[in-house]
Amino acid sequence: MSTAAPSQADADPRLDGVRVAMINWRDPWQSVAGGAETYAWQISRHLVARGADVVFVTSRERGQARAETRDGIAVRRMGGPFTVYPLVMLWLLLRRRRFHAAFDCMNGIPFFSRLVLPRRTRVISVVHHVHDLQFDAYFSRPLAWLGRFVESRVASRVYASCPTVTVSESSRRAMREKLRWRAPIAIVHNGGPAQPPLPPAPAGTGLGSPAIVCLGRLVVQKRVTRVVDAAAELRAERPDLRVHIVGRGPESVPLRERIDHHGLHGAVHLHGFLPEEEKNAVLAGATLHVTASQFEGWGLTVIEAAALGVPTVAYDVDGLRDSVRHGETGWLVRDGETLTEVIARALDELDDPVRAAEIRRACRAWAATFTWERSGRDMARLLADELVRGTERRGSRR
């Protein structure tokens, strides 16, 4: 293993021979994978490009291979959504001297890799956002309480000696205030897609006038039914409004029921999962991107839309208040406002072609500041620093 302390002259250090475990709840090819999976995979790709040997350790969906290699990354899958935790701990325990470093990605509950790996292995905790009340959406009251207890009381102590990475300033603040997180917290933002050519405005793709797009996983905390409700309320004022929902997940059934309830079959379109090119075509043709998500670490879909010049309406919650620049690249739903009111106000503003062009340019400029290359470089630098510190600590004890 050879690493060098990063400097301005060596902004992206080599990691030749460094063996890394990237531990994440899911991989990007699972049916309800989202931004956290994209983040872990993109970071892994960059570490491999810098010479590291990365093993991506995760759960396994039915039909997935237990072991494979993609993009030079060894993928090892085991267990389901809950059994993955003890199985990964056992897997790491049996290989505890193999790794120089581990990224322990905490999706509410960490993998507790710090308890099974030797002290010389540098463990970096990755926390996208504080789950807190999100546990209530999935579990009974006793289990939700247990989840919050582990997240707020146990994890902060287990990882107190480990550097932590999060993806936004509001997530870092929430970790300090809600979890009483003790360890140093660095911010390594999500990246974003490469900037495609800007389509003419209006896009004129036949998606509707105006066209709203909602992009992301169809799960409870994304609250996509609120977007459908808003469409029903806006129809009287804007009869040509169309809503395009792109994504898959268990909430597709309640969504269809809500569309039936409002009689919006011709106005709301469920596209399901779309390949990248088709997804981008829908995004580029939209007037506005809307997310009703309650919990986000950052808002990867916000930046995807912004890269195509499409602003976002989102709730003023942790993560989204960082990825949406209120009044510049989108609008935040603040206390005392409804989603419908803010969407209506945004559409009125976008009716002005001069203002719409200004917002499109601002969106593109904002999105251009986030690249996976930059995110990977920041993470590689942090890892190299931590490896050097670990070597220095071992040397001082001799």
Q: What domains can you pick out in the chain, each with its CATH number?
A: 19-191+371-396 (3.40.50.2000), 211-368 (3.40.50.2000)
Q: How many Cα neighbours within 13 Å face the side chain of 114?
A: 19
- Per-residue pLDDT, 6: 42
Distance between CA atoms of residues 342 and 338, nearest Å: 7
Whether 101 and 122 have beta carbons less than 8 Å apart is answered as yes
Distances (CA, A) of 108 to 26, 32, 129, 134, 379: 13, 16, 8, 9, 21
* Count of helices and strands (H, E) across the chain: 14, 14
Q: What is the pLDDT of residues 177-195, one digit of tens each?
A: 999 998 999 999 999 877 6
Residues in the chain, overall count: 398
Distance between CA atoms of residues 398 and 365, nearest Å: 51
Whether 214 and 195 have beta carbons less than 8 Å apart is answered as no
Q: What is the pLDDT of residues 258-290, one digit of tens each?
A: 999 999 988 999 999 999 889 999 999 999 999
Band of residue 196 on the pLDDT scale cut at 50, 70, 90: low
- Per-residue pLDDT, 366: 96
Q: What is the pLDDT of residues 362-383, one digit of tens each?
A: 999 999 999 999 999 999 999 9
Question: What type of residue is 198?
Answer: L
Exposed (0-12), middle (13-18) or buried (19+): which is 395, by Cβ within 10 Å? exposed
Distance between CA atoms of residues 260 and 298, nearest Å: 32
**Quick one: which H or E segment has residue 158?**
helix 155-158
* Pairing status of strand 73-77 against strand 67-70: antiparallel
Band of residue 395 on the pLDDT scale cut at 50, 70, 90: low
- Per-residue pLDDT, 253: 92
Q: Is the dihedral of CA 373, 163, 293, 219 positive or negative?
A: positive
Band of residue 7 on the pLDDT scale cut at 50, 70, 90: very low
Sorted by sequence, the CB contacts under 8 Å of residue 91 that are 6+ apart come out as 57, 76, 78
Residue 249, by phi and psi: left (phi above 0), alpha (psi -120 to 50) or beta?
A: left
pTM for the structure as a whole: 0.87
- Per-residue pLDDT, 137: 74
Nearest to 222 by CA among 118, 339, 119, 115: 339
Cis peptide before 202 (omega within 30 of 0): yes
Paired with 214 in beta bridges are 245
Average pLDDT (91-112) is: 96
Band of residue 12 on the pLDDT scale cut at 50, 70, 90: confident
Whether 5 and 385 have beta carbons less than 8 Å apart is answered as yes
Please, what is the Cα angle at 93 between 28 and 39, to 5 degrees? 20
Distance between CA atoms of residues 369 and 331, nearest Å: 19
Enter the tokens of residue 295. 């919990």
Band of residue 3 on the pLDDT scale cut at 50, 70, 90: very low
Q: How many Cα neighbours within 13 Å face the side chain of 88?
A: 32
- Per-residue pLDDT, 203: 44
Band of residue 337 on the pLDDT scale cut at 50, 70, 90: very high
In the block, tokens 């707020």 appear at 152
Distance between CA atoms of residues 103 and 21, nearest Å: 6
Band of residue 61 on the pLDDT scale cut at 50, 70, 90: very high
* Long-range own/partner contacts, residues 271-274 (CB < 8 A, 24 or more apart): 271/244, 271/245, 271/246, 272/246, 272/247, 272/248, 273/246, 273/247, 273/248, 274/246
Average pLDDT (237-257) is: 93
